[in-house]
Each structure stands twice: as C-alpha cells, then as structure tokens.
C-alpha cells in the first residue's frame, strides 16, 4: 500500500528564515509526486508535480526536489502569507488515486 509521511507536523518560522519540509514515500511504480498548499477551510491548491528523481521545480519562494525516497519543499525567505498547511501526495497505478500525507502546518511570524 502506498504510504506518505511528512515531517515536521508543524513548523514555526520567523519571516525571512528559510527552511525545508520533508516528504518520504513508499510506492510501487511512482507516476508522480505532488505538492499542494491548503489554507484553513479551503480545498488544496496545486503547487508542483515531480515525475522522476533529480527533478526540481520552482515557484516564487518555493522549490520542490525529488529523490527516489523523498521529496523536499524548500521555502526561501518566507513571508507571513506563506503560512498554510503543505500537503505531499503520490500517484501510482492505473487510475487516478492520489495518496496524501497528513501535511506540515507552517506558520511564518512577522
């Protein structure tokens, strides 16, 4: 069964203090790894798709990387508006079941 583990569960940063979120996964036949951002009471917002080890994607202050066992979401010089829960998810198999981790709740303090 596909498994996704995210750490830490919660992270509190000062504005401008860079850090990384970790996502480790166990899956047979990875088709893609996704990162989503979720604000309280809202649906997840798509950020990135990574397909193979060594791949990197960037968007503003966020950079996602992928190895054969883990993915990292690097946040450079975060701002308070980056505060949210960040979800990692994987897709494998022949249909569109996506398995999510429990997320990392990020709080950026001004």
Partner 1 sequence: DAGVTQSPTHLIKTRGQQVTLRCSPISGHKSVSWYQQVLGQGPQFIFQYYEKEERGRGNFPDRFSARQFPNYSSELNVNALLLGDSALYLCASSQGGIFGELFFGEGSRLTVL
| Shortest Å, Cβ 16 to partner 1 | 28
CB of 15 vs partner 1, minimal distance in Å: 26
CA-based R_g, the chain, Å? 13
Query: At closest approach, how far in Å is the CB of 89 from partner 1?
Result: 7
Closest CB to partner 1 among 94 and 110? Answer: 94
Q: Which is nearer to partner 1, 43 or 54 (CB)?
A: 43
Query: Token pair for residue 48?
Result: 């990135």
Q: Which residues contact 78 (CB under 8 A, 6 or more apart)?
A: 13, 15, 16, 17, 18, 19, 61, 106, 108
Specify whether the CB–CB gap between 85 and 8 falls below 8 A.
Answer: no
Tokens read off for 80: 């308070």
Q: How, if at all, do strands 10-14 and 104-109 pair? A: parallel
Q: Could you list the residues that contact partner 1 (CB under 8 A)?
A: 4, 31-32, 34, 36, 41-46, 49, 87, 89, 91, 94-103
Closer to partner 1 at the Cβ: 48 or 75?
48
| Closer residue to partner 1, CB minimum distance, 42 or 59 | 42
Min. distance of Cβ 9 from partner 1 in angstroms? 9
């Amino acid at each position: 069964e596909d498994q996704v583990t995210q750490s830490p569960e919660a992270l509190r940063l000062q504005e401008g203090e860079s850090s990384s979120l970790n996502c480790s996964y166990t899956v047979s036949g990875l088709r893609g790894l996704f990162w989503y951002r979720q604000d309280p009471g809202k649906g997840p917002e798509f950020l990135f798709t990574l397909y193979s080890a060594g791949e990197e994607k960037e968007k503003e202050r966020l950079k996602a990387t992928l190895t054969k066992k883990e993915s990292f979401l690097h946040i450079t010089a975060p701002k308070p508006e980056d505060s949210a829960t960040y979800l990692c998810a994987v897709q494998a198999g022949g249909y569109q079941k996506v398995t999510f981790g429990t997320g990392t709740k990020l709080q950026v303090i001004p």
